[in-house]
Amino acid sequence: MNRFQTALCILGVLTTMTTHASETACPALLDHKVRQLAGDQVDHLCQTYQGQVVMIVNTASKCGFTPQFDGLEALYRKYKAQGFVVLGFPSADFGGQEYASEQESADFCRLTYGVQFPMYATTHAKKGKADPLFQGLAEAANGDYPSWNFHKYVLDRNGALIGSFGSFTGPSSSKLEKLIQSALGG
């Protein structure tokens, strides 16, 4: 084997090692592929949001807590440039308070509350029905499953759960905002 062939062989091994390392570096709580709301595009949460502070929320369009969309959008806009993102997941698990059509859900969020943060496909968040993302979040939160709409899970830049907040803790909560600021390094 000449030097050129040896160099190509080494390069191939290094590429394989780097690819494997980047695949295994994905935090488990972000290692999910989810479809965007009312669309066909699928995002791998790890590839899209790794290194950011992430808040994951189960939302509903026809709930008493629905006005929290305003506060969630305000947090997103306030801290987006610092590496913060809110991810909304509509769910009809609690009182059937979500539209049957994802397009209706998407239009409602955008037109009524001006939601610009990423929204994903309607999902299940309730204990016993939770999809793998919400099951993993609840398990990381010592069994703290959403008991209603607008439960908030906060992950740090490493993808580790650092907070779980029920519906009554609104986006304007000083405790929640302090946690976000701390996770952002400010």
**Residue 89 placed within a domain:** yes
pLDDT tens for the chain, 186 residues long, are 665 454 444 444 444 444 444 455 999 999 999 999 999 999 999 999 999 999 999 999 999 999 999 999 999 999 999 999 999 999 999 999 999 999 999 999 999 999 999 999 999 999 999 999 999 999 999 999 999 999 999 999 999 999 999 999 999 999 999 999 999 997
CATH number at residue 76: 3.40.30.10
Q: How many residues does the chain have?
A: 186
- Judge whether 18 lies within some domain: no
Q: Is 53 a domain residue?
A: yes
pTM of the model: 0.87
* φ, ψ (nearest 5 deg) of residue 66: -55, -35
Tell me, yes or no, whether 12 lies in a domain: no
Q: Which two tokens stand for residue 2?
A: 């000449």
Q: Helix or strand or coil: residue 55? A: strand
Alpha carbon distance 72, 63 (integer Å): 15
User: Active-site positions?
Assistant: 63
User: Other C-beta atoms within 10 Å of 183: how many?
Assistant: 24
Tokens of 115: 């939601």
Q: Does 146 fall in a domain?
A: yes
φ/ψ of 63, rounded to 5, equals -125, 155
Q: Is residue 35 part of a domain?
A: yes
Which structural domain range is residue 178 located in? Answer: 26-184
